[in-house]
Amino acid sequence: MSKTKKQTPQAKAENAAGKTDKKLWTAGVVIVLAAAAAVAIYKHSGSPQPTVPTAPDSANQRNAAANPTPLQTSASAPMSEAKEVAFGPTAPNMTPAPAKTPPGMAWIPGGEFSMGAQNPPDMDEVGLKATLDSRPIHRVYVDGFFMDKTDVTNAQFEKFVKATGYVTVAERKPRAEDYPGASPENLVAGSVVFAPPEHPVSLDNYLQWWTYVPGANWRHPAGPQSSIVGKENYPVLHIAYEDAEAYAKWAGKRLPTEAEWEFAARGGLAGKPYVWGDEFRPNGKWMANTHEGHFPDKDTGDDGYVGISPVAKFPPNGYGLYDMAGDVWQWTSDWYRPDYYQQLVATGVSHNPQGPDSAYDPSEPGHKKRAQRGGSFLCTDQYCSRYMVGTRGKGDIDTGTNHLGFRCVMTLQQWQARERGQEDHSGEGN
């Protein structure tokens, strides 16, 4: 996020939910914080605006980022005008897979594929809105690479922290110089947490289910009184972009590009709406951890989990990757722009695209956002639907939430160098 006009953590919560009126949000957040219930969605929303991350403001932005809505898109074409989209076949590289694979990772062959989102099977409005920034469909080529089979877990991240002494963004007290004008009492460390209301609510105000919680971080996902003891195999949460980058560097890896992530998520399939195929529940089987029941007040847990689930509890895709849909959003290294695919389609087949040069979200100009993928346990056809493969999320780089995590990739060259002992790695191990 730019430091020219940062929002407090509570204000960021609003951005996370995808709102655009920051002044109103900031005022509202200050009031909420005064009542000890500030919202912090800003950091996870992924919009690239420079704002002041004061306790209340940052919270709002984090909350908004954590809860991207189908109304956040810049396009507003009538859903009745949705057109069929055409996908070409996936042509994987035929080079044999390496003889050895890094622990906990899977080989992704790379190749050429059609990138972008398919229409939802039932052509529902929520699902169609989720595809607006994932068009046009375009051809992309990526080299082969290794990818973590699962999201990075609490146990893995704890090993990194013990080895390095790293302190995450959510654990750091916001600095007064970064948030000019913020009251000292609002400059408190914390993060955005999903807090379902006790009754049905209108879906036009995300503040009814997101809140900024002082003391919430990866060790305490729901707040100071919560713990990850016994949840070592759950995805690590409340991870800002720089936290994920720091872990990846320590592990001798990096974060995936959007193109790498989508190629891997499709698992060799082409043009399917879901990671696993055409039906959301093939033969009645749950394939991902998503939100069942009535959003946001009641998650029935029909898929076996209310809220987040441990990693690898649902079937892997064709490349042996788990949870590439649902459970937690995942960071990618690409800056977010809704018009990026329009730029790529004009170039023919894009080779190893690295994303646009800068971030831009028309709903929050100035916020530095990275693209996020995969959806989360909060995705539902009532509100988000971004568990559909090819759809895109976005989040402010300085914001984490309790439904945002990450996984890493490694190039063949990195692995070969490690095997030769030419690089000094701290031994992340999976």
Binning the chain into helix, strand and coil, the percentages to the nearest 5 are 25, 15, 60
The helix-helix angle for 22-34 and 55-66 (nearest 10°) equals: 110
Answer left, alpha or beta for residue 187, where phi above 0 means left and psi between -120 and 50 means alpha. Answer: beta
Q: How many structural domains are present in the chain?
A: 1
Can you give the pLDDT at residue 256? 98
* Tens digits of residue pLDDT in 107-116: 999 999 999 9
Residue 368 lies in a domain: yes
pLDDT at 422: 58
Helix pair 154-164, 241-250: axis angle to 10 deg: 70
CA–chain centroid gap for 267, Å, is 19
Residue 3 lies in a domain: no
Distance CA 128, CA 119 (A): 6
* Residue 236 lies inside a defined structural domain of this protein: yes
In-domain check, residue 330: yes
Q: Is 179 helix (H, G, I), strand (E, B) or coil?
A: coil
Rounded CA-CA distance 372/244 in Å is 12
pLDDT given at position 178:
80
413 closest CA partner among 250, 252, 251:
252
Give the separation between CA 164 and CA 82, rounded to whole angstroms. Answer: 50
CATH number for position 339: 3.90.1580.10
Query: What residue ranges of the chain have pLDDT lower than 50?
Result: 1-5, 14-81, 425-426
Q: Is residue 429 part of a domain?
A: no
DSSP conformation letters of 340-396: HHHHHHTTSSEES----SS---TTSTTB-EEEEES--TT--TTTT-TTSTT--EEEE
CA 316, distance to chain mean position in Å, is 19
| Residue 1 within any structural domain of the chain | no
Q: Is residue 43 part of a domain?
A: yes
- Position 5 in a domain: no
Task: Give every CB contact of residue 303 below 8 A, 6+ residues apart in sequence.
Answer: 286, 288, 289, 290, 292, 314
Pair of tokens at residue 302: 């029909």
The boundaries of the domain holding residue 320 are: 11-419
pLDDT tens-digit map of 109-153: 999 999 999 988 888 888 888 899 999 999 999 999 999 999 999
Could you read off the pLDDT of 361-402 as tens digits, one per residue?
A: 999 998 999 999 999 999 999 998 999 999 999 999 999 999
Radius of gyration of the chain (CA): 20
> Distance between CA atoms of 303 and 314, rounded to whole angstroms?
9
Neighbouring residues of 265: CB distance < 8 A, sequence distance ≥ 6 = 275, 317, 321, 324, 325, 373, 374, 389
**What pLDDT shows up at residue 123?**
81
